[in-house]
Structure formats: structure tokens, C-alpha cells
Amino acid sequence: MHNDKIQQIAQMSLYNPQTLQCNGETFKVYLTRQELQDRVSELGEELTGQYKGKDPIFIGVLNGAYIFLSDLMRRVEIPCEVDFIKLSSYGDEKVSSGEVTDLKDIDADIEGRHVILVEDIVDTGLSMKYLVDKLQKKKPASIATVTLLHKAEATHYDVQLDYVGFKIPTLFVLGYGLDFAQEGRNLAQIYILDKE
Ligand code: IMP
């Protein structure tokens, strides 16, 4: 099959509605597939330049970061590894519970390794701060933090963000790995409530 045709089919098969209903609420597009793709490519290029010769290990925060991480890693053109960590989530609400609990630790030994910690979104900063402190105890050579989205005005924990995809207002977002009561992760774009 011709390459253009394959490309077209791949695009068409993505879940890309302009608006959608999720758990009884209407959502509209906020960041398009193209905007996400372009920014993820830029971040991948930056990381490629920064981590040459360092064999970094990406640590993705489950569940939300899995789609961003898989796109990001495929834009990183140096040898690297991946592992995952999981914290308790938002619950089924649109506001943070303010509590963090461990659900799954990493399996890899990161002592002396260069770690790239990948989050989908930093809201209050509690999860990222908790994770950096937790991983720091395992004595890595370095830890860099990457987040696709940063609700900068909502962040009140002291956390260093080294790579940020998009700084966004304090809005509830959905899609591209981010959920609302576990739904919507498979959306290829990022959505906000229609009434915003
Ligand atoms: P923080 O600990 O307050 O920074 O919240 C981080 C976590 O809350 C993220 O990893 C997400 O799982 C979740 N979260 C924060 N904001 C949103 C949102 O707008 N939509 C979906 N999940 C969110």
C-alpha cells in the first residue's frame, strides 16, 4: 500500500471527536493532535541532545502518563530504558484528593542511573514532589522531571519541573492518557469542559 494511504488510515483510526460526552459532561477540544505531536517531538529532540551517552531510564507515572510517554520515547533517538511507578489517583472526582499512596514501585535498580520521570500533568505538585523524594532515596545519578501539562497557578508544592509540554490554566482536562473517572484516556487530543 502507498505510504500516504497508510498514513491517512492511521490518522482516521484515531479517536478525535470535536466534542464528546464523558460521565454526563460535555467536553471540547483544547489541544489538538497536531499541537501535541509537535510539542512531543520538540521535547524528544531536547532529551536526545541532553542525554547522549547517558543511557537514561524513563519512569512513567501510571496510569495517566502512558500515552505521552510512549509517544515521547519514540522521539528520543538514543539508547534508553523504561519502567513504571503508580500512585493512588484523583479518585473519580475532578479535584485532587490531597493524598498520595503508593500502588506500584519501579522494578529497576536506578542507583547511579540518569532518571527521567514522566508525568501527564502537574496540578498541586504533590505527586511529583512525592515521587522525586521517593526516587531520590534510591540514589540515582540524576533525576529530571518531565510533564506534558502544568497547571502552574495551582502548583503550591515546591517542585522542580525541567521539561514542560504546555503551561495551562487551572482547568480540568481529559484525553491523551488523562481520565475522568477512568474514562477518556483513549482520546487522541486534550479536552476541557465545554462550559469553560
Ligand atoms: P497533583 O498531585 O495535585 O499535582 O496531581 C497530579 C495528578 O492528578 C496527575 O498525575 C493526574 O493523575 C491527576 N490530575 C490532575 N489534574 C488533572 C486533570 O485536569 N485531569 C485529569 N487528571 C488530573
**Cα–Cα dist 167/149, whole Å:** 6
**Cα–Cα dist 59/124, whole Å:** 20
Radius of gyration of the chain (CA): 17
pLDDT of 90 over the 60 cut: no
Residue 92 falls in the annotated catalytic set = no
At 179, the pLDDT band (50, 70, 90 cuts) reads: very high
C-alpha to C-alpha distances, 30 to 13, 102, 166, 167, nearest whole angstrom: 20, 31, 11, 12
CB 36 within 8 A of CB 176: yes
Cell matching residue 112: 547511579
- 96 Cα to the center of ligand 1, angstroms: 7
- Digit-coded pLDDT (tens) for 24-56: 999 999 999 999 999 999 999 999 999 999 999
Tell me what the mean pLDDT of segment 118-142 comes to: 97
Catalytic pick from 102, 105, 107, 123? 123
pLDDT of residue 10: 57
pLDDT of residue 176: 97
Q: Any bridge partners for residue 165, and if so which?
A: none
pLDDT of residue 6: 64
Angle at 151 between CA 22 and CA 32, to 5 degrees: 55
- 4 Cα to the center of ligand 1, angstroms: 37
pLDDT of residue 13: 72
Please give all residues whose beta carbon lies within 6 A of any atom in ligand 1, as ranges.
Answer: 61, 64, 89-90, 96, 119-128, 172-173, 178
Q: Where are the beta strands (DSSP E) in 2-52?
A: 19-22, 25-31
